[in-house]
Amino acid sequence: MVVYEDLKIANLVKNHHLAKSISDASWYQFTEWLEYYAKSHGIACIAVPPHFTSQNCSSCGQTVKKSLSVRTHKCPHCGYIADRDHNAAKNILAKGLEMLGAIVNSTEGHSESGGDPKATGESDLWISNSNISLFKLSL
């Protein structure tokens, strides 16, 4: 499973100090290739909303406001200390697992007649931008 933030490039390049670096990084192209290869190899690829991934404490869930220049997450509520990116990565993974669990456990599309060809445990879910489109995911 691959989980990443569904960053809005148009909003990111509004920051004139970071615009060239973000454009050089080709974030959009990276995500297109990531989704393509995940799909072709049968790997779940989940884009999660980026809201508060670096601000929320991955240990207790409390919001800890910080500027971009602050690289260490220090939670005054529970005392958890971690690198800002590590804390964000844990939050991104948790959001991805939550989204995957909600979709896998939903009863949407199930057939009462028993004629559902996916009853063997296979699903054709593709998760991106909180929407589902066709994707072969073996559960």
Q: Report yes or no on 77 lying in a domain.
A: no
Q: What is the Cα–Cα distance from 73 to 63, expressed in whole angstroms?
A: 11
**pLDDT confidence of residue 90:** 97
Number of helices (H), then strands (E), belonging to the chain: the values are 4, 6
Strands (E), 1-139: 2-5, 45-48, 72-74, 81-83, 122-128, 131-138
**pLDDT confidence of residue 89:** 96
**pLDDT confidence of residue 13:** 72
Interval 56-76: pLDDT, tens: 999 999 999 999 899 999 999
**pLDDT confidence of residue 114:** 45
Low-confidence residues in the chain, pLDDT < 50:
111-139
Provide Rg for the chain, Cα atoms: 18
Q: What is the Cα–Cα distance from 114 to 108, expressed in whole angstroms?
A: 14
Q: Report yes or no on 73 lying in a domain.
A: no
**pLDDT confidence of residue 106:** 73
Q: Report yes or no on 125 lying in a domain.
A: yes
Q: Report yes or no on 59 lying in a domain.
A: no
**pLDDT confidence of residue 33:** 93
Q: Report yes or no on 48 lying in a domain.
A: yes
Q: Report yes or no on 36 lying in a domain.
A: yes
At position 101, the amino acid (one-letter code) is G
Number of domains in the chain: 1
Q: Report yes or no on 130 lying in a domain.
A: yes
Predicted TM-score (pTM) of the model is 0.70
Domain of residue 134, residue span: 2-54+85-105+118-138
